[in-house]
Amino acid sequence: MTSNLPADLAKIRDEIREIALGYGLDFFEVIYEMLDFDQMNQVAAYGGFPTRYPHWSFGMEYQRLKKSYAYGLHRIYEMVINNDPCYAYLLVSNEPVDQKLVMAHVYGHSDFFKNNLWFAHTNRKMMDEMANHGTRIRRYMDKYGADDVEDFIDVCLSIENLIDPHLPGIRRRPRPEPEDEDDKAAFTEQRPGELPAKEYMDPFINPSAVLTEEAKRVREEQESRKQRFPEEPERDVMLFLLEHAPLDTWQQDVLAIIREEAYYLLPQRQTKILNEGWAAYWHSTIMTQSGIMTNAEVIDYADHHAGTVAMQPGRLNPYKLGLELFRDVEERWDKGRFGREYAQCDDMQAKANWDQELGLGRQKVFEVRRIYNDVGLIDTFLTEDFARRHRLFTFGYNERHEQYEIVSREFEKIKKKLLFSLTNSGQPIIRVQNANLDNRGELLLRHQHEGIDLKTDYARDTLKHIYKLWNRPAHIDTVIDDTPRRLTFDGRDHRVRKLS
């Protein structure tokens, strides 16, 4: 695709680009595409990648967007794709002031994609990669039949949330044992449980009985470890199935494709608040401080900005929360409102007027955008003062009144709830516990229950899909209504069993 930006907008783009660079933003070059609303809905249905593999769920999403656009329920002003160069889609019918706002916003996103740590592992040529995926899947469809391939994609998409969010940053599997003879010797030199000791003290510090005992324990541990499969519960269920499920080559490839896309999209879920907050912070800064906006545009800008950061009762707007947190951090570091001295000050007056004129704010927000994700952001920078100023509360479902109600305004509870809802992007944590249950080759998953039950009907249907991959009965251990239970699908029937 080549950019189809008209000359007047190209001029605005160049201006905004210069301003953004002047503020120290460091972004992938952005290619803007103008789309009409229908094209925009199409692109949005494909998650921003027009070249994606074919699947009916994109058709469903398109129909939904089309309908809700027709009824005036939503309007997509802009979309940005994490890619180098970064692709951004603009709605052709936007007013010039909207286009300015959107462009400034997009440079914020692009800067975030490029610099945030959690995006570091993503493929920056994903536009091409997605097209390759599409081609491969289309080829499989030609060869093995569209229905079969699409059904298999259904199955894969059903488990696309069962990945390990920390995989890009942590090595879970032990390094392969060193082949080198010298290294091997170094490896075995120290016996298990042995402490370093001078020779004359050795019999006392490392009594041989204890060492024998310890060696035996370690050996047994290793033995039982070998009997377990997987040795440790596996968080990346997709990977486990990819490596061990009885799949055809093309099925492996399809599963691998969907897994790769899931990992690519993961950081966008991990940094929703930060990413949108950062973009909102920059569009508001650029629009209101750089002089790009004409006087006539101020009202429209204010209106649309307010629309973007508006809060609906009962739900949190990531744009708003992110923007306010960035502003709060900037102010605190500008005025030195952090650290022990500030925290321990109990003079409210002094606190309210606290200003050490440090001017570290800008530097700090850049640091925040570099190394944090949403969980870290909330954990580190959500203060009691902030929660009170922004009237945050927790809400829950009241069964007696059959409605959602405000539950509490206590800071600790708010923070806990918020962190909980962000953990694992709000997905249940599920691991492969045992792939050879009762020595019958049955697959056991385990849901780490943290107080919220799974949606049972969905869980059942998902098990059905996992059965299709594993080809043997599939189970999941979870908790339903405070009782540990095991859900099973054995190829014909569903069963629920209480666990003792």
Partner 1 sequence: MADRIERDSRRFKKVVRGHIKKNLRKYMSQREMIGRRGRDAVSIPVPQIELPRFKFGRKQTGGVGQGEGEPGTPLGPAEGEQSSGEAGNQPGQHILEVELTFEELAELMAEELELPNIEPKGKKTIVSEKDRYTGIRRVGPESLRHFKRTYKEALKRQMAAGTYNPDNPRIVPIREDKRYRSWNVKHEPESNAVIIYMMDVSGSMGDEQKEMVRLTAFWIDTWLKHQYESIERRYIVHDAAAKEVDEHTFYHLRESGGTLISSAYTLCNKLIDEEYDPEEWNIYPLHFSDGDNWGGDDTRKCMDILREGLLPKSNMFAYGQVRSYYGSGEFIADLDAAFPVEEKVVLAEIPDRDGIYDTIRAFLGKGR
Of residues 13-52, which lie at the interface with partner 1 (CB under 8 A)?
39, 42-43, 45-46, 50
Of 229 and 420, which CB lies nearer to partner 1 in the complex structure?
420
Residues 385-424, one symbol each (x = binds partner 1 by CB under 8 A, - = not), give -----xxxxxxxx-x-xxxxxxxxx----x--xx--x---
Footprint on residues 150-179 left by partner 1 (CB under 8 A): 150, 154, 157-162
Residues within window 57-76 making contact with partner 1, judged by CB under 8 A: 57-60, 62-64
Cα three-residue angle 493-496-499, rounded to 5 degrees? 145
Q: Which is nearer to partner 1, 58 or 229 (CB)?
A: 58
Query: Is residue 464 close enough to count as binding partner 1 by CB under 8 A?
Result: yes
Residue 56 lies near partner 1 (rule: CB under 8 A): yes
Give the H or E element holding residue 98: helix 96-115
Binding mask 130-149 for partner 1 (x = CB under 8 A): ----------------x---
Question: In angstroms, rounded to a whole number, what is the distance separating the alpha carbons of residues 174 and 104?
Answer: 45
- Interacting positions 65-124 with partner 1 (CB under 8 A): none
- Residue 429 C-beta-side C-alpha neighbours within 13 Å: 15
**Beta carbon nearer to partner 1, 166 or 455:** 455
3-state secondary structure 200-221: CCHHHHCCHHHHHHHHHHHHHH
Q: Which residues pair with 478 in a beta bridge?
A: 485
Closest to partner 1 by CB, 104 vs 444, is 444
Give the chain's length: 500
Report which secondary-structure segment, H or E, holds 477: strand 474-480
Nearer CB in complex with partner 1: 19/127: 127
Nearer to partner 1 by C-beta: 61 or 194? 61
Q: Are 116 and 25 in contact (CB under 8 A)?
A: no
The answer to whether 489 touches 462, Cβ cutoff 8 Å, is: no
Residue 482 lies near partner 1 (rule: CB under 8 A): no
Least distance (Å) between residue 54 CB and partner 1: 6
CB atoms within 10 A of CB 309: 19
Torsion region of 288: left, alpha or beta (phi above 0 gives left; psi -120 to 50 gives alpha): alpha
Cα dihedral sign, 248-250-254-260: positive
Residue in 343, 452, 496, 499 binding partner 1, rule: CB under 8 A: 452
Q: Which stretch binds partner 1 (CB under 8 A): 3-11, 224-232, 276-284, 459-467?
A: 459-467
Pairing of strands 474-480, 442-447: parallel
Asked if 465 interacts with partner 1 (CB under 8 A), we say yes
The label of the residue with tokens 């409605």 reads 403
Q: Is 492 in the site for partner 1 (CB under 8 A)?
A: no
